[in-house]
Structure 1
Amino acid sequence: MGGGGKIPYPKHVWSPAGGWYSQPANWKANTAVAGAGMLFIVGLGFMLSANLEHRDKMPEPGRFFPSRYWSKQIIEHERKLKEQKEREGGQ
């Protein structure tokens, strides 16, 4: 009553993934290391892209777009607009 044993497979087969029924003991640690490495590389790419971003035409104030939160050029532009509004309103 158990349906029998495992399906027979050749013992001489080698593959980089470990072959049939492979479950390495440290697969969780390896996955965590690979994930952390990928996250680090993607983060570096994101930072490089954000630092190199340049806009010739600034977006309209109040219009939503994600790069508004990390683009130094846009942050400085919006800060200048805010200061300008405060100066005009205070006069």
Structure 2
Amino acid sequence: MVSRFSGGGPKVPYPKHVWSPAGGWYAQPANWKRNTAVIGAVMAGVVAVIWKISAEKEVRYVMPQEGRFFPSRYWSKQLIEYDREQAARKAKDTTQAEAVQNS
């Protein structure tokens, strides 16, 4: 007797042929590459928007130590301004020290 439930072997009643809207067990739609590219682009866009909003809202109460690697220094507006102020202050201090030394 042949049963329609003989896909998983004699003891496991799995159907041989499975239909689903996604295409079954081993689906390979004709346009899977385009679908993958589209969803990848959408996901990258969503991540970029969330990243931008997060960077704009980021607030630090304690600034990172000078010279240490801190990734958000590259995109956090507050840290970029802080680093510019520190560089300007350091340049001003060195020029004053040179002026005192030369006089």
After TM superposition, the score normalised by the length of structure 2 is 0.72
Distance 1:70 1:20 in 2: 44
Structure with larger Rg: 2
The reply to whether residue 19 of structure 1 matches residue 19 of structure 2 is: no
Deviation (angstroms), 1:71: 0.6
The reply to whether residue 46 of structure 1 matches residue 55 of structure 2 is: no
Deviation (angstroms), 1:17: 1.6
Question: Corresponding residue for 1:9?
Answer: 16
The reply to whether residue 60 of structure 1 matches residue 65 of structure 2 is: yes
Secondary structure at the counterpart of residue 56 of structure 1 = coil
| Number of equivalenced pairs | 83
- Root mean square deviation, CA, Å: 1.7
The reply to whether residue 73 of structure 1 matches residue 88 of structure 2 is: no
Secondary structure at the counterpart of residue 53 of structure 2 = helix
Deviation (angstroms), 1:20: 4.1
> Relative contact order: is structure 1 or structure 2 higher (C-alpha 8 Å, sep ≥ 6)?
1
Deviation (angstroms), 1:24: 1.3
Secondary structure at the counterpart of residue 57 of structure 1 = coil
The reply to whether residue 37 of structure 1 matches residue 3 of structure 2 is: no
Q: Percent identity?
A: 57
Deviation (angstroms), 1:84: 0.7
Question: Corresponding residue for 1:85?
Answer: 90
Distance 1:87 1:19 in 2: 70
Runs of 4+ displaced beyond 6 Å = none
Deviation (angstroms), 1:21: 4.0
Residue by residue over 1:26-81, the C-alpha shift from the partner in whole angstroms, topping out at 9 and shown as x without a partner, is 11101100111011111111111111100011111101111111111011001001
